């Protein structure tokens, strides 16, 4: 089969990272089929994707918790690889409703893997998170850093998910790449797709852009007494388009049989840490306006500092981030202005 026409299933393909990855897959000549239950995404995203790539991806509205429907889907489609984004991701909600998170993120993973194995689909890419490292003892964080006890059920689902995949690769015909994302930000340069937080944003960048747009009164900066250069917490903000491209590199590695282990783990970040106040200042410069913010107490469960050592992804995937924090903020701001 012509490898450029391989069919890739993208679960959660209408979500923030999923939609950007679909566009990159289409740019690279892959056939894409999206599964999404629309629980945290909008059907309009399909139009956004189509107007960028000029290719309408196949779309199946399906809840992965429905084991029978997942089985039926695999019986009816011939798939060469799966990129699995579909999951719930609100940390606070996961504390309130742990079983919802274990069902949405773990039961669905099990069903998906069972069907992949049954149907001899062996290439799997999993969305994980730097949250598995907790507060790492050494910075930048390499993939060798130990996984720490999770701070939330959400974080735990990522750890358990990794373990489930690991155990499965030991005994089944399954080749997996786990991508541990740092903090994804930004929007596609066309501003036809971007982040669509439902309700009050929990993440920094959408809160910043909504504050600048007048939707939120002011940004609360959570803590300025951390042991960092300006006292605010440090993260590695990776542009979503760069992040999407890391999935293509990982997929090609699997499809070309270049993976060295049946399961491999890669950090996906820029390698650069920025403090919350640095983000605020960069945003003010880009938007040419002052941002209304106040310093408040630390947010429970937050870590001080996390940024990636990306050497492994650079060397093994031949991937590295190209876009800057400023690119991410500028596109997020353009996207926000289009919404309001
Ligand atoms: C959060 C999650 C993490 C998840 C990731 C997904 C928590 C505790 N952690 O990571 O598990 O994998 O999102 O994207 O929720 N900040 C403010 N004011 C705000 C919002 C954020 O000061 O209104 C600060 C935070 O304290 C943090 C930084 O901005 O220092 C980034 O926050 P956020 O975007 O929520 O990401 P993480 O906390 O890194």
- pLDDT, one tens digit per residue, over 56-114 is 999 999 999 999 999 999 999 999 999 999 999 999 999 999 999 999 999 999 999 99
The confidence score (pLDDT) of residue 110 equals 98
> What is the percentage of the chain residues whose pLDDT exceeds 70?
99
The confidence score (pLDDT) of residue 1 equals 46
The confidence score (pLDDT) of residue 211 equals 98
Provide the angle, in degrees to the nearest 10, between the axes of the packed helices 325-339 and 276-287.
60
Q: Which residues line ligand 1 (CB under 6 A)?
A: 91, 129, 131, 154-155, 183, 202-204, 207, 219-222, 233, 235, 276, 299, 301-302
146 alpha carbon – ligand 1 mean position (Å): 21
In the chain, where does DSSP find H-type helix?
16-27, 44-53, 67-76, 91-96, 98-101, 108-118, 153-171, 204-212, 240-255, 276-287, 311-312, 325-339
Which atom of ligand 1 sits closest to the CA of residue 207? Answer: 23
CA distance 168 to 151: 25
| Candidate of 183, 185, 195, 199 to mutate for ligand 1, largest count of ligand atoms within 8 Å of Cβ | 183
Cβ(169)–Cβ(263) below 8 Å: yes
The confidence band for 9, taking pLDDT boundaries of 50, 70 and 90, is very high
Among residues 32, 35, 40, the alpha carbon closest in space to that of 15 is found at 40
Nearest CA to ligand 1 atom 2: 91
* Residue 95 falls inside a structural domain: yes
* Residue 56 falls inside a structural domain: yes
Specify the CATH number for the domain of residue 97: 3.40.50.720
Residue 3: other Cβ atoms inside 10 A: 11
The DSSP code for 28 is: T
Cβ(51)–Cβ(193) below 8 Å: no
32 alpha carbon – ligand 1 mean position (Å): 31
3 state DSSP class of 181 = strand
Residue 184: other Cβ atoms inside 10 A: 23
Q: Which residue has the tokens 């994980």?
A: 128
β-bridge partners, 177: 125, 264
Find the mean pLDDT for residues 304-330.
98
Q: 248 Cβ partners below 8 Å, 6+ apart?
A: 21, 24, 25, 28
pTM of the model: 0.97
| Candidate of 127, 151, 230, 235 to mutate for ligand 1, largest count of ligand atoms within 8 Å of Cβ | 235
The domain containing residue 108 runs over which residues? 3-187+237-270+309-321
Q: 101 Cβ partners below 8 Å, 6+ apart?
A: 88, 93, 94, 153, 154, 156, 157
* Residue 74 falls inside a structural domain: yes
**pLDDT over 90 at 295, yes or no:** yes
* Residue 198 falls inside a structural domain: no
Which atom of ligand 1 sits closest to the CA of residue 130? Answer: 12
The confidence score (pLDDT) of residue 77 equals 98
Give, in degrees to the nearest 5, the angle at Cα 331 between 192 and 24.
Answer: 55
CA distance 223 to 299: 7
* Residue 291 falls inside a structural domain: no
Cβ(62)–Cβ(37) below 8 Å: yes
Nearest CA to ligand 1 atom 35: 203
The confidence band for 5, taking pLDDT boundaries of 50, 70 and 90, is confident
* Residue 333 falls inside a structural domain: no
Q: Phi and psi for 34 in degrees, rounded to 5?
A: -105, 135
Nearest CA to ligand 1 atom 1: 203
Give the chain's end-to-end CA distance (angstroms, integer). Answer: 46
297 alpha carbon – ligand 1 mean position (Å): 14
Report whether the peptide linkage leading into residue 146 is cis, meaning its omega lies within 30 degrees of zero: no
Nearest CA to ligand 1 atom 31: 204
pLDDT in tens, 156-193: 999 999 999 999 999 999 999 999 999 999 999 999 99
Find the mean pLDDT for residues 122-135.
98
Annotated catalytic residue, options 133, 154, 237, 307 = 154
Which atom of ligand 1 sits closest to the CA of residue 181? Answer: 12
Among residues 120, 81, 127, the alpha carbon closest in space to that of 256 is found at 81
* Residue 93 falls inside a structural domain: yes
Structural domains in the chain (count): 1
Is 226 among the residues known to form the active site? Answer: no
Nearest CA to ligand 1 atom 6: 183
CA distance 203 to 201: 6
CA distance 193 to 51: 10
Stronger pLDDT, 340 or 293, i.e. the higher one: 293
141 alpha carbon – ligand 1 mean position (Å): 17
Furthest-apart CA atoms within the chain: distance in Å: 57
Which atom of ligand 1 sits closest to the CA of residue 183? Answer: 14
Nearest CA to ligand 1 atom 38: 302
**pLDDT over 70 at 291, yes or no:** yes
């Amino acid at each position: 089969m012509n490898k450029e026409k391989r069919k890739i299933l993208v679960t959660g393909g209408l979500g923030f990272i999923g939609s950007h990855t679909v566009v990159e897959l289409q740019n690279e000549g892959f056939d894409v089929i999206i599964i999404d239950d629309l629980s945290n995404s909008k059907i309009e995203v399909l139009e956004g994707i189509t107007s960028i790539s000029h290719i309408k991806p196949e779309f199946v509205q399906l809840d992965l918790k429905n084991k029978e429907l997942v089985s039926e889907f695999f019986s009816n489609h011939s798939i060469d690889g799966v990129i699995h984004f579909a999951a719930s991701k609100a940390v606070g909600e996961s504390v309130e409703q742990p079983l919802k998170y274990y069902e949405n993120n773990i039961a669905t993973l099990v069903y998906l893997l069972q069907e992949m194995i049954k149907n001899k689909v062996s290439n799997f890419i999993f969305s994980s998170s730097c949250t598995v490292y907790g507060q790492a003892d050494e910075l930048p964080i390499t993939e060798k850093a130990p996984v720490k006890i999770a701070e939330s059920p959400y974080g735990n689902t990522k750890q358990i998910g990794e373990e489930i995949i690991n155990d499965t690769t030991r005994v089944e015909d399954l080749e997996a790449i786990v991508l541990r994302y740092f903090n994804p930000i930004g929007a596609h340069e066309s501003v036809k797709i971007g982040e669509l937080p439902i309700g009050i944003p929990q993440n920094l960048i959408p809160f910043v852009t909504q504050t600048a747009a007048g939707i939120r009164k002011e940004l609360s900066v959570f803590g300025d007494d951390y042991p960092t250069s300006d006292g605010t917490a440090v993260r590695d903000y990776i542009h979503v388009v760069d992040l999407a491209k890391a999935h293509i590199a990982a997929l090609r590695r699997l499809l070309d049989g270049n993976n060295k282990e049946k399961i491999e783990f890669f950090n996906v970040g820029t390698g650069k840490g920025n403090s919350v106040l640095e983000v605020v200042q960069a945003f003010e410069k880009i938007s040419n306006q002052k941002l209304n913010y106040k310093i408040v107490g630390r947010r429970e469960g937050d870590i001080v500092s996390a940024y990636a050592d990306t050497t492994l992804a650079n060397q093994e995937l031949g991937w590295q981030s190209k876009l800057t924090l400023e690119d991410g903020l500028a596109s997020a701001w353009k996207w926000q202005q289009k919404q309001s």
